[in-house]
Amino acid sequence: MNITVEALIAAPMERVWNAYTSPAHIIHWNAASDDWHTPAAMVDLRVGGNFSSRMEAKDGSFGFDFAGTYTAVEPCRLLEYSFGERKAAVQFLQQGASVMVRVTFEAETAHSLEQQRDGWQAILHNFARYVAGLT
């Protein structure tokens, strides 16, 4: 089963793309709640390139690496990647002066569909807020 989350971001496409794919930006927005953060990120933005983000609770009680391999990279248009046995796609769709970022990913079985959707949507909302603050 696939889950899709999306956010409309009032910013130029280049800014949205760069914020989504640059480790210097990822560490500022990649968290589902204020008590989590991403202290480190790595991106090799090419087909076959790897990425990883270290996600941790700010109190140090838990952390994990979210990592995978890019299977498609079309700048300012599409990212596809595999992570473990699952796949995801991120579309960047121009809509007037805004960009719709749409993330579709394969669900896992450890958490409910609602929990997965809510978590990924929260991260995408953080991304939208972060990009809105860039100039």
Which pLDDT belongs to residue 135?
A: 74
**pLDDT one-digit tens code per residue, 3-48:** 999 999 999 999 999 999 999 999 999 998 999 999 999 999 999 9
Contacts from 124-128 at CB under 8 Å and sequence distance 24+? Answer: 124/5, 124/6, 124/7, 125/7, 126/29, 126/30, 126/31, 126/32, 127/7, 127/9, 127/19, 127/20, 127/29, 127/30, 127/101, 128/7, 128/8, 128/9, 128/101
CB 26 within 8 A of CB 53: yes
Which pLDDT belongs to residue 5?
A: 98
Which pLDDT belongs to residue 107?
A: 96
Domain range summary for the chain, segments of one domain joined by +? 2-33+72-132
Helix (H) or strand (E) holding 124: helix 113-132
Which pLDDT belongs to residue 92?
A: 98
**pLDDT one-digit tens code per residue, 102-127:** 999 999 999 999 999 999 999 999 99
From the list 90, 16, 82, 22, the residue with the least C-alpha distance to 50 is 82
Per-residue confidence at 49, pLDDT binned at 50, 70, 90?
Answer: very high
Which pLDDT belongs to residue 81?
A: 98
**pLDDT one-digit tens code per residue, 54-90:** 999 999 999 999 999 999 999 999 999 999 999 999 9
CB 90 within 8 A of CB 20: yes
CATH topology of domain 2-33+72-132: Alpha-D-Glucose-1,6-Bisphosphate; Chain A, domain 4 (3.30.530)
